[in-house]
Amino acid sequence: MRTVQITNLIFDIPVNSVEDIKAFRKPVSNLIKQWRSDFDNAGIPVDYFHNHNEETGNTINRYPLIQYHAINGRLVITGINEGSEALEIFSGLLAEREIPGDVHFKGKSNLPWKTHQLKQDEFDIRLTDTLSEYLITNWLPLEDERYELWSEMLSLQDRITLLDEALPRQIAKFLGAAGINYSASFTAFVSNILSTENKIKEYNFHKLPFTCTFRCNVLLPDGIGIGQVPSIGFGRINKL
């Protein structure tokens, strides 16, 4: 068993699309840049907030410990472990500092930054003797080449096999970021494809996000993302 820290920073800011979620990272990054010394003093890398190498601008190949998404139509930032610590600092700074006038979101600068809610929890991740069922929404499970392969397949069973190969790898990536290594000792497989959404453009490649159920013998926390680009709301999971 391993306990992970999960923090949700919930804003009273409505969100209508993935593009809104993606755009919200920009004002947050602007604030982090201006308050960088506070994070440096706490030993918290600011790249947790945007997951890019600050020198090259390239995406850092790691599971994102800070993720932007929506709950009940409101913008949320979720932090895991070190990301949770970073959000706690960010929440305190939002409460005590004046928000610079040059920080905008969708053309607006008077956002209700200070009326956010900070919800902190601990979750015990552990292997179980039975399979739990989870819902995963807007999941992008396949890299470009494997998505092309999936698109060319005629057999539904073959397509499911590709998803079943991707799912445990992506769960393991989250577990590894949380400091857990179950290697090959856990089971995860897709139990149903409920729907596919409109194609989205992900790194110049148009893909269908899936909404599925899956079964797994690891207890996983609600609200985390897996798959491709979980940092902007894709692949959110919730236990059924």
* pLDDT the model gives residue 80: 95
Q: Mean pLDDT throughout 72-94? A: 94
Instruction: For 90-139, write each residue's pLDDT tens digit.
Output: 999 999 988 888 888 887 878 888 889 999 999 999 999 999 999 999 99
Residue 168, phi-psi category: left (phi > 0), alpha (psi -120 to 50), beta (remainder): alpha
Q: Are residues 148 and 72 in the same domain?
A: no
Same domain for 48 and 29: yes
Residue 133: per-residue pLDDT: 97
Q: Is residue 140 located within the same domain as residue 97?
A: no
Q: In the predicted model, what is the mean pLDDT of the chain?
A: 88
Tell me: do 83 and 39 sit in the same domain. yes
CATH number for the domain harbouring residue 198: 3.30.70
Using the predicted structure, report yes or no on whether residue 145 has a pLDDT greater than 60.
yes
204 with 130, same domain: the answer is yes
- 31 and 86: one domain? yes
Say whether both 119 and 135 belong to one domain. Answer: no
Map residue 62 onto helix, strand or coil. coil
- pLDDT on residue 180: 83
Task: Answer for the pair 80, 176: CB distance below 8 angstroms, yes or no.
Answer: no
Token pair for 44? 């918290």
Q: Which domain-ending residue is among 74, 91, 123?
A: 123
Report the pLDDT averaged over residues 76-84.
95
More confident: 78 or 101: 78
Q: In this structure, are 119 and 130 located in the same domain?
A: no
CA–CA distances in Å: residue 168 to residues 9, 24, 31, 198, 202: 28, 30, 36, 25, 22
Question: Of residues 165 and 207, which shows the higher confidence score?
Answer: 165
Per-residue confidence (pLDDT) for residue 151, from 0 to 100: 83
pLDDT in tens, 156-191: 889 899 999 999 999 999 999 988 876 667 899 999
- Could you tell me if 84 and 115 lie in one domain? yes
Last residue of a domain, one of 75, 102, 123: 123
Q: How many domains does the chain have?
A: 2
DSSP code at position 99: P
Distance from C-alpha of 34 to C-alpha of 65, rounded to nearest angstrom: 21
Q: Which tens digit of pLDDT belongs to each residue from 5-47?
A: 999 999 999 988 888 898 999 999 999 999 999 999 999 999 8
Distance of alpha carbon 169 from alpha carbon 78, whole angstroms: 21
Q: What pLDDT, on the 0 to 100 scale, is given for residue 184?
A: 61
pTM listed for this prediction: 0.89
**Which of these three, 91, 123, 155, is where a domain ends?**
123
Residue 131's domain comprises 126-239
How high is the pLDDT of residue 154?
86
130 in the same domain as 118: no
Do 51 and 93 fall within a single domain?
yes
- Quick one: 29 and 101 in the same domain? yes
